[in-house]
């Protein structure tokens, strides 16, 4: 492992890198069993003493985790890597892989952080997804403060931008334009409620929802749109 990486526990990783519990962060999950390996985009929830993965049961990630209960959560902001591991079926991601430190599953090279784990338990077997509760054996991160990507952050920024335009459109009598943007904010509000509940992100969305509702959108016509909780 190159010297640019620090190594430690999950608790140290959370504290040093200011990870917010209960938020879904986006990663590339690497899994493997025998000679078969896989890399795929995946959401991960980082808790104080474990990480939680919820892959669909139809995916290769699920099948490999059930065969070999080890894996690596890799953090990167390289959009080409996200595309390659999600849709580039004609290519190969084998050149992106490197050996891990504590698990037999490979990791992604050139990531800014990774969490090597073993599956402790599998739950919720009756739905479309399975819930894997995983114990981190080793956390590795590049020196300096890292920021794993979360869709909640994007949702907040987009909602803030839309909200400023909603108010402007309403002041200019452009009701339909205001409703169109308010519907987008409502979509982001639902997203934040799902992937970042009881966090600073959901708190900001609560404030935005109150503001937008106070601007009178519920009475707009011909749309029967009401900005409220589902």
Which pLDDT score is estimated for 90? 52
pLDDT by residue (tens digit) across 163-172? 989 988 888 8
Which pLDDT score is estimated for 211? 87
pLDDT by residue (tens digit) across 50-74? 999 999 999 999 999 999 999 999 9
Regarding pTM above 0.85, the answer is: no
Structure tokens at 31: 């899994």
pLDDT by residue (tens digit) across 22-40? 899 999 999 999 989 999 9
pLDDT by residue (tens digit) across 101-139? 999 999 999 899 999 999 999 997 678 999 999 999 999
Buried b (16+ CB within 10 A) or exposed e, 176-193: eebbbbbeebbebbebbb
Burial class of residue 123 in the structure, from the number of CB atoms within 10 Å of its CB (0-12 exposed, 13-18 middle, 19+ buried): exposed
Nearest Cα residue to 44 out of 144, 154, 157, 132: 132
CA atoms within 13 A on the CB side of 177: 13
Which pLDDT score is estimated for 1? 45
C-alpha 69, offset from chain centre: 21
Of 220 and 17, the one with more pLDDT: 17
Reported as a pLDDT band with limits 50, 70 and 90, residue 228 is very low
Percent of the chain with pLDDT over 90: 61
Lowest mean pLDDT: which of 20-29, 47-56, 88-97, 179-188?
Answer: 88-97
Reduced to 3 states (helix: H, G, I; strand: E, B; else coil), residue 8 is: strand
């Amino acid at each position: 492992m190159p010297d640019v990486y620090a190594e430690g526990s999950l608790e140290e990783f959370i504290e040093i890198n200011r990870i917010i519990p209960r938020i879904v962060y986006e990663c590339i999950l690497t899994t493997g069993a025998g000679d078969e390996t896989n890399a795929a985009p995946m959401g991960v929830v980082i808790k104080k003493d474990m990480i939680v993965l919820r892959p669909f049961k139809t995916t290769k990630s699920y099948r490999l985790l059930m065969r070999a209960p080890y894996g690596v959560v890799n953090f990167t902001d390289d959009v080409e890597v996200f595309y390659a591991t999600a849709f580039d079926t004609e290519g190969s991601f084998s050149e992106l892989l490197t050996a891990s430190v504590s698990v037999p599953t490979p990791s992604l090279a050139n990531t800014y952080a990774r969490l090597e784990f073993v599956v402790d338990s599998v739950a919720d077997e009756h739905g479309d997804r399975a819930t894997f509760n995983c114990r981190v054996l080793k956390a590795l991160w590049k020196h300096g403060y890292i920021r794993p990507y979360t869709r909640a952050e994007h949702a907040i920024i987009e909602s803030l931008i839309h909200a400023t335009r909603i108010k402007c459109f309403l002041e200019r009598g452009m009701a339909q334009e205001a409703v169109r943007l308010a519907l987008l904010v409502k979509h982001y509000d639902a997203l934040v409620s799902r992937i970042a509940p009881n966090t600073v992100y959901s708190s900001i969305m609560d404030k935005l929802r109150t503001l937008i509702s106070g601007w009178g959108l519920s009475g707009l016509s011909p749309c029967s749109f009401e900005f409220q909780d589902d």
